[in-house]
Amino acid sequence: MAHLKTAYTELTDTEYRDLHAVVTEAVAGFAHLYAYGVSKCTFLAGLTGRPIHNLEDLNCPHPTRSITAAGVPCPATSSPNSRARP
């Protein structure tokens, strides 16, 4: 059982080391980045080296809140650099 824990730890560490490169590449084409909550913004800012706008500060609804087909208005979605959801 100990060898499984060691293998899992090594896999997790390797993937975490790659996280910076993966996330940085994934958001490279966006002028502005958004997250919901201070802790997520802080984590992503440290990871990417870029400012992350907090959706709470923009009075956006919590992401787990049910959204109707018409959508829920959020000031962040009016940004010219944001992508609208289908």
What's the confidence (pLDDT) of residue 17? 74
pLDDT per residue, tens digit, the chain (86 aa), is: 444 455 555 556 657 778 888 888 889 999 999 999 999 999 999 989 999 999 999 888 777 775 554 565 565 555 444 444 43
Distance CA 23, CA 52 (A): 13
- The residues spanned by each domain of the chain are 2-78
pTM of the prediction? 0.59
Contacts of 56 by beta carbon, 8 Å cutoff, 6+ apart: 36, 37, 38
What's the confidence (pLDDT) of residue 22? 84
Q: Which of 23, 58, 17, 18 has its CA nearest to residue 44?
A: 23
Residue 46, H or E segment: helix 38-48
